[in-house]
Amino acid sequence: MSAPATRSRRWPSALWRVAAYLALAAVGVTMLLPFAWMVSTSLKSPAYAIEYPLRWIPSEPASTEINGQTCRVAEVKDQPGEQVAILRYSPEGVQVQVISPAGQAGQQRLVPEDRLLPVRRVWFHWENYREAWRAEGVRVTDAFFGLIREADGFLAFYLNSIFVTICVTVGTVFTSSLAAFAFSRLRFPGRDRIFIGYLATLMVPAIVIMLPVYALLSQLRMTNSYSALIFPVMFSAYGTFLLRQFFLTIPRELEDAAVIDGASPFAVYRHIIIPLSKPALATLTTFAFLHTWNDFLWPLMVVDRLALKTLPIGLAHFQDSYTTQYHLLMAASVIVMVPVLIVFLIGQRYFVRGIALSGMKG
Amino acid sequence: MAQPASGPSAGSGSPTSPSQGTPRAQSRGGPASCQRGLRSNLAAGPSRSRARRDWLQALPFLLPNLLGFLVFTFLPILACFGLSLTNYELAPVSTLRELREQVHFVGLGNFVHLLGWQREAGRIVASDAEFWRYLGNTLFLMLGIPLSIAGSLLLALLLNQRLRGITLFRSIYFLPTVSSAVAVVIVWKWILHQQPNEIGLLNGLLMSLGVGRPPDWLGSLAWAKPAFIIMTIWLGVGGYNCVLYLAGLQGIPEELYEAAALDGAGAWARLRHITWPMLSPTTFFVVTMSIIAGFQGSFLFTAAFMMTGGGPAGATTTLMLYIYNYAISWHQLGYATAVACVLFLLVFSFTLINWRFGQRLVHYA
């Protein structure tokens, strides 16, 4: 069954390979379908966003101007290559004017209605993205430390998300790596007991921790601030655990030589452990980035000022204001998702490795 | 200083790097630190002062994280248990005295109300019937977990074949996991949409497959929970569990399969008697983590919050949403923390049972 590339096993038979590909592709399509539908709807005009039968490629009935009047375009059955503009409907049939081929253009005649096939033309409404970005319902004032007097909602949400995510990610990686160094490389009384305390909290539901912190912040009137968004999520027990597991795999002989030569613990940390741990640090960075970027519950609890909202709760607010405007909702969702997908595609190698690392015993 | 490329193997291959770092380190730390580091390793001197020295050495590394951990993780857990014994109502106060007047110790009162029952006209009625209902919802929605795990295992088996383009498939399967839950929920709301004359993607596909009257997923008591389960399976099947299984599969020694093939074992026998037992530690880990995550249901919270508001008629309200409503919407922090403690105890006792009995089923090679 299992056969990683390095091992000497026969390639699977052709039949089995086709079956495997079909199964993989079927699941892949199911996974992508909602995203494709999101992009498709985001490019439709409001009138055609809700339409049955479903259309994947945004298109609308084509129309043309004839004598200052907007007319639908149709094709006539059994007359390939002929396009006509519909002038008016009457009991005897439909009055049409030929628009192509050019040789017969301008001719008018009567055609029975059931012989007309409406022509649709593909039409991508890119302006939906601009409209969502600039939506009136999410405009903010005094955004980003008051540096921006008035801004489009999504600009503010983006700045907030970027700022908060960078602070949390840098803080997590920095403090976790220092602590993981202490837990894996230094000896001090109670070390293992403290570490087990860290581990035990990984099992505690997040809401248990969030409620008292939320209560404290609101009693101190510190909700609706960047500090509330950043500090409570910055000190990750999980990150410390992940990095400790990795640091333990680095052979001790490397640093013993340095210690005998008089290197301080910080020098060992800075010049030996950190350079050797780039994959693990990249993994934690990716984890912290994605987790903070997508976090919903904590920002929802501590921020209700629109100008301070991060992308997920900003998008939730947008949904409240534009509940039924599906073309705008989908455009806004795409706007929120794109950076995550880019980071994931860049960092996916580290991500996958990190999951495998965190699943190990130790 | 020359930095080794990356990874421990590259580092151990270049023994020059530590000695190159030495002159710098010495000029910073000085010879004293050298002595200290050595002596602490060689265990000389009275043990108490050594313990203190070790602590002083570790403290700068530990402090930033430990302080944050204490303030934002450890103490809040204790505080949660403390608050659950009060009738704390979150309201703005300006002095500590006001706060003290506001908070009253009620002992186990919250828990008695939460878990208690009374007899009414010969029937036993729970004093907080909603809690039991939402606990039931939470457990019901966890029915998707075994399906999701089985799907992850199947996908991992497929992904473990020697085929071209596997990485692409793996990335696609992982996409829902890394996507913003809010955006995912918004698109699923649109997919599950069903209004007179307005048909969402799922029902449109069902109708083109010949289903006459597809359900109103989010609007009906019967179908709202299955809709949520479908969403969580779509979200989770190619996610963490699949990657963990794939890593587990790649750790199974090939010799086992070769030996089995020599003994004439077919594909099914190899799956049943080699792959499955060898994966049992992974399965144990995956099941444990999935159930802990299932009780918390952070995606289900987002979905209920954004799609249904917990409806119709509370059908999609989970314990998390119940806690959120008590704490944030109704400011009843005392009661909310009590529910949170019960959630914690549920997770805790489950994990304990799992460790006690689940471990027996695990085969460690």
pLDDT digits (tens, 9 = 90+) for B130-166: 999 999 999 999 999 999 999 999 999 999 888 888 8
Res. B346: pLDDT tops 80? yes
Res. B322: pLDDT tops 90? yes
CA atoms within 13 A on the CB side of A170: 6
pLDDT at residue number A143: 85
B243, A352: Cβ pair inside 8 Å? yes
Residues 284-303 (B) with a CB less than 8 A from some CB of A: 285, 292, 295-296, 298, 301-302
Structure tokens at B345: 């105890």
CATH code of the domain occupying B130-361: 1.10.3720.10
Cα separation, B137 vs B303, in Å, equals 14
Burial class of residue B284 in the structure, from the number of CB atoms within 10 Å of its CB (0-12 exposed, 13-18 middle, 19+ buried):
middle
pLDDT at residue number A10: 54
Res. A125: pLDDT tops 60? yes
pLDDT at residue number B102: 79
Res. A354: pLDDT tops 60? yes
Res. A167: pLDDT tops 60? yes
pLDDT at residue number B65: 93
Cα separation, B327 vs B80, in Å, equals 12
Span B192-212, pLDDT tens digits: 988 877 888 998 889 888 888
Cβ pair A3, B158 in contact under 8 A = no
User: Is B282 touching A (CB cutoff 8 A)?
Assistant: yes
E strands, B63-188, in order: 117-120, 123-126
pLDDT at residue number B263: 87
- Match 């409001």 to its residue by tokens: A46
Beta bridge partners of A89: A94
Res. B167: pLDDT tops 90? no
The nearest alpha carbon in chain A to B82 belongs to: A212
Q: Please give the average per-residue pLDDT across A256-268, as a whole number.
A: 87
Res. A66: pLDDT tops 90? no
Among A91-105, A215-229, B22-36, B325-339, the minimum mean pLDDT is found in B22-36
Query: Confidence band (pLDDT; 50, 70, 90) for A12?
Result: low
Structure tokens at A131: 């409209």
Beta bridge partners of A111: A94
Cα separation, A188 vs A192, in Å, equals 9
B7, A187: Cβ pair inside 8 Å? no
User: Is B27 touching A (CB cutoff 8 A)?
Assistant: no
Interface test with A, best of B80, B187, B347 (most A CBs within 10 A): B187
Class of domain A59-122: mainly beta
pLDDT at residue number B134: 95
- Neighboring chain B residues of A315 at a CB cutoff of 8 Å: 180, 182-183, 186
Beta bridge partners of A70: A65
Buried-state track A94-123, b at ≥16 Cβ within 10 A, e below 16: bbbbbbeeeeeeeeeeebeeeebeebeeee
Domain locations along chain B:
42-73, 130-361
Which DSSP state fits A13? P
pLDDT at residue number B359: 76
pLDDT at residue number A352: 75
pLDDT at residue number B121: 81
Interior angle at CA A45, CA A44 and CA A48, nearest 5:
80
Cβ pair B286, B245 in contact under 8 A = yes
- Neighboring chain B residues of A255 at a CB cutoff of 8 Å: 18
Query: Confidence band (pLDDT; 50, 70, 90) for A155?
Result: very high
- Calculate what percentage of chain A has a pLDDT beyond 70: 95
pLDDT at residue number B8: 38
Average pLDDT, chain A: 87
Query: Confidence band (pLDDT; 50, 70, 90) for A40?
Result: very high
pLDDT at residue number A184: 92
Average pLDDT, chain B: 83
Residues 233-272 (B) with a CB less than 8 A from some CB of A: 234, 237-238, 240, 243-244, 247-250, 252, 254, 257, 267, 270-271
Query: Confidence band (pLDDT; 50, 70, 90) for A104?
Result: confident
Res. B19: pLDDT tops 80? no
A275, B3: Cβ pair inside 8 Å? yes
Query: Confidence band (pLDDT; 50, 70, 90) for A80?
Result: confident
Q: Please give the average per-residue pLDDT across A240-262, as a whole number.
A: 88
pLDDT at residue number B14: 38
Domain locations along chain A:
59-122, 137-358
Distance from CA of A130 to the nearest CA of B (A): 18
Query: Confidence band (pLDDT; 50, 70, 90) for A127?
Result: very high
- Ramachandran assignment for B43, one of left (phi > 0), alpha (psi -120 to 50 degrees), beta (any other): left
- Match 């907030």 to its residue by tokens: A160
Ordered alpha helix ranges (H), chain A = 14-42, 46-49, 127-133, 153-185, 191-201, 206-219, 226-234, 237-247, 253-260, 265-268, 274-276, 278-294, 297-302, 311-321, 326-358
Instruction: Please choose, from the candidates B182, B295, B335, the residue with its C-alpha nearest in 3D space to the C-alpha of residue A297.
Output: B182
Query: Confidence band (pLDDT; 50, 70, 90) for A27?
Result: very high
A211, B11: Cβ pair inside 8 Å? no
Cβ pair A48, A60 in contact under 8 A = yes
- Neighboring chain A residues of B58 at a CB cutoff of 8 Å: 182, 186-188, 191
Res. A259: pLDDT tops 70? yes
Span A284-335, pLDDT tens digits: 998 899 899 999 999 999 999 999 999 999 999 999 989 888 999 999 999 9
Give residues with Cβ within 8 angstroms of B225, minimum separation 6.
B137, B140, B141, B315, B316
pLDDT at residue number A205: 92
Cα separation, B355 vs B352, in Å, equals 5
Query: Confidence band (pLDDT; 50, 70, 90) for B46?
Result: low
Cα separation, A189 vs A124, in Å, equals 66
A108-111/A59-61 β-pairing = unpaired
Structure tokens at B364: 């460690």
Distance from CA of B131 to the nearest CA of A (A): 16
Res. A61: pLDDT tops 70? yes
pLDDT at residue number B3: 38
CATH code of the domain occupying A137-358: 1.10.3720.10
User: Is B95 touching A (CB cutoff 8 A)?
Assistant: no
Please provide the size of chain B in residues.
365
Q: Please give the average per-residue pLDDT across B24-37, as a whole number.
A: 42
Span B214-246, pLDDT tens digits: 888 998 899 999 999 999 999 999 988 998 999
- The closest CB to that of B285, out of A216, A262, A359, belongs to A359
Instruction: Please choose, from the candidates A329, A333, A236, A217, the residue with its C-alpha nearest in 3D space to the C-alpha of residue A291.
Output: A236
- Ramachandran assignment for B305, one of left (phi > 0), alpha (psi -120 to 50 degrees), beta (any other): alpha
3-class DSSP state for residue B15? Answer: coil
- The closest CB to that of A38, out of B75, B157, B187, belongs to B187
Kind and range of the H or E element at A101?
Answer: none
φ and ψ of A359, to 5 deg: -85, -5
- ipTM greater than 0.95: no
Distance from CA of A70 to the nearest CA of B (A): 27
- Neighboring chain A residues of B267 at a CB cutoff of 8 Å: 1
- Match 């609890």 to its residue by tokens: A301
Query: Confidence band (pLDDT; 50, 70, 90) for A11?
Result: low
C-alpha to C-alpha distances, A166 to A227, A229, A289, A348, nearest whole angstrom = 13, 12, 7, 19
Res. A267: pLDDT tops 80? yes
Cα separation, B283 vs B286, in Å, equals 5
Cα separation, A235 vs A221, in Å, equals 22
